[in-house]
Structure formats: structure tokens, C-alpha cells
Amino acid sequence: MQLIARELRAREIPGVVHLTETPAGLVQVDIHPPAATARLYMDGAHVAQFQPAGAEPLLFLSRASKLVPGSAIRGGVPVCFPWFGPKAGDPAAKMHGFARTMDWSLESTAQESDDSVTLVLLLESFDFTRERWPHDFTVRHRVNVGAALRMSLEVHNPASSPCTFEAALHTYLAVADVREVRITGLEGASYLDKTDGMKVKTLGGEPLRIEAETDRVFPDHRGACTIDDRAGGRRIVVEKSGSDTTVVWNPWIAKAAAMEDFGDDEWPRMLCIETANTGADSVTLAPGATHTMTATVRLG
């Protein structure tokens, strides 16, 4: 285990933001404002836990997740960039891009006037990233922890030519029983059903229920979703901006059993509502431009 660098240790806020290194070598950031607790890993700029004061956790983290450097974390909020899902034309590339397994830097920490805490994490292009995606970029992930969890992914194009990218805040929500959940905010929307050959379908006028393996991509969707976690006796709201795609995912029984970093019996206790720009909603950035995509997770 290596000691945390002095300049990184300087980002701590006594009693509020504390950094430690795990036995496996991950830099772990624990955040404790009055209204919530949260945990973030520098690898992937990955928010792994968020729990409002007096409430149960809002994020799901698999007990089988590999919390080791360079490995994707199963749960929390993975940052997907610069592609989502498999990379077009390169099936051997890592799913969901390289950002979620890279070591980000901690640019700043601050306690706000409302006692919430904001962390800014930074990832910039270098030779390794250019070999996998031939563009320069600067990405800042702003994470604000208070009564709500607010995440803003800011992608800047410093180059002299445009670039096109996909991105997602792949949020894993903790629910008591996904079979009892009702999701509102998607009524009447069209979607691509990834479990049925990417067929285009339209949701009816009732709230969405999860009754089997679900992997639905809702393009041209910009609104909030409310998760009525009936078995848990609460509602979770996912609000967003700068995002034209919403993805809803639950692996169900067979796929959960096939994933080595996911407990076989964990699928009823999670639901992904992903804030994204993917496919036809990919973002093209002009030279010098910045795009910001924001997701807010809170109790309803």
C-alpha cells in the first residue's frame, strides 16, 4: 500500500471529507455532510454509496463487485465515456468506454453554503486514451453530496476539430423488491428493446413494471423518472438535464447468475435508471465547446 500523496491529502476537509487507501490499492473518499453520507473511489470517479440522513441507502452496490484498481465496479454510479455499451466497430474494446476504470485526479473539494459538499474529479486525454479514441478531451465530474446526490459530467473539446461521444451516468438504485416497483415518467415513450433484437416498441400509458430481464433504451427522453419502491415504502426520483436518452436495466435471474461480479440473488434489490446520451442522441462537440449532463438522485 502506498501513502496518499500530500497534494491529494490537502483536499480533505476535517470531519467532512476523508481519504483512505484500501488494502487493494483504491483511493477511497468518504463524505459526511450533515444531510447524508457518501463514498467515492478515485478509480472511475465512481460514486459507490449515497445515503441520506435517517434513510436507507439510495444506491445499490453488489457484494461481489471487484473493488480493485483497473476493474469496473458493479453498482453505484459508473461513468460511461466516450462510448456506451460495446464500441462501434471494435467488439474487443471495453464495454462502456475507458473512463470508468481509469484513475481520475481530485481537482477540488468544497463545503457549500448549504453544508453540502462538492468534489470535482478530472480526467484528461493522453497517449493511452488517444490509442483507444483518437480525440483530445477534458472531462470533469462534479459530485455534490447533500440531501440529494447531484452529479454533473462536463465534457470539453480542446481540439481544433469536432468530436462525437456517448456518455452515461449508469445509476444503480437500491430497491426492496424490483418486482413490486412502479416507474413513472416514461408513459407513452418509444424504446429500443435490447432483449428482443433492438425492436422499436412503445410503452403504454401505465407505469413501467419490471417482470423479466429488462434492457430498454428510451431515446429522445429528457424528463425525470420516479421509482415507487412499494416494498420499501419510499419513492426515489432521478432528475436530469443535458441528457436525451434514458436507459432502464435489470438483469433478472439468468443474467445475474452469469455475471461473476454480481450475486445470484441480488437482482431483486436493484434497478438501473441511467442518464445517458447514446446512439442517435450521441453528442457532437464543436472545437472549444463543453457539454454538461447532470443527474440528481433524491427521495421523493
Three-class secondary structure of residue 49 per DSSP? strand
Distance CA 53, CA 35 (A): 5
Active site residue 170: yes
Residue the block writes with cell 424490483: 178
Of 50, 48, 51, 52, which is closest to residue 62 (Cα–Cα)? 48
Residues with Cβ within 8 Å of 134's Cβ and at least 6 positions away in sequence, in order, are: none
Task: Quote the radius of gyration of the chain (alpha carbons, Å).
Answer: 19
State how far the Cα of 180 lies from the Cα of 154, in Å rounded to an integer.
35
**In which residue are the cell numbers 438483469 written?**
251
Catalytic residue among 46, 141, 170, 221: 170
Q: Do residues 75 and 65 lie in contact, with contact meaning Cβ atoms separated by under 8 Å?
A: yes
- Closest to 119 in 3D by CA, of 181, 237, 31: 31
Active site residues: 170, 274
